[in-house]
Structure 1
Amino acid sequence: MSTFSEITNRKEPVLIDFFATWCQPCTALAPVLKEAKVVLGDTAHILKIDIDKNQDLAAKYQIKSVPTMLLFKEGRQLWRHSGIITKDALISVINSHKS
């Protein structure tokens, strides 16, 4: 199993979705993430992290509301967004950080 640091240090963009099982917007975002993953294939990674099971990590990245998404590449945080986002907007953001 990879560590968070190993995952976020990949050369491909890595989207981290901080969510909670009790969060209705998080539930609404889940199919958007699945559809984006289908479109992006292996060119990007999407990882969901439950804030209730990973409180230290959520605190480290100052997650105050869910869903909150962070985009990493080669260990650097490139983008942050809280709330719902459309599939096309999400894919556009991730694609803009591929090269």
Structure 2
Amino acid sequence: MSKFGELIDLQIPVLLEFYTDWNEASEAMHPVLKDVAAALGDKAKVIKIDVDKNSELAEALRVKGLPTLMIYKEGEMKWRQSGEQDANTLIGLMQEYL
């Protein structure tokens, strides 16, 4: 199984952020994702994926806008949205899959 497959095949929800260091909206999401990770603790995972370093994966998942956020659980995509999101929205979405 690929490393990505292992990441998304967990029993807990996994929030992925596809980002770049040069994108302002991606930069704005850094503290939001820290808040989400802190609020959910070990009940969920928050993973950032740099599209510049993982272009094949980003292309395979058709990531066009940045940031692009996805929630996976047990290998299945549950939610996807491009653009900035606030911590409370993301925490609420993640809690739906706990």
Structure-2 separation of matches of 1:72 and 1:13: 6
- What fraction of aligned residue pairs are identical, expressed as a percent? 38
Aligned to 1:90: 90
Structure-2 separation of matches of 1:74 and 1:36: 20
Unaligned 5+ segments in structure 2 are none
Aligned to 2:40: 40
Aligned to 1:77: 77
RMSD of aligned residue pairs (Cα, Å): 0.9
Q: Secondary structure at the match of 1:91?
A: helix
In the alignment of these two chains, the number of paired residues is 97
Structure-2 separation of matches of 1:22 and 1:94: 27
CA deviations 1:36-70 (Å, max 9, x no partner) are: 10000000001100001100000010000100011
TM-score (norm 2): 0.96
TM-score (norm 1): 0.95
Aligned to 1:58: 58
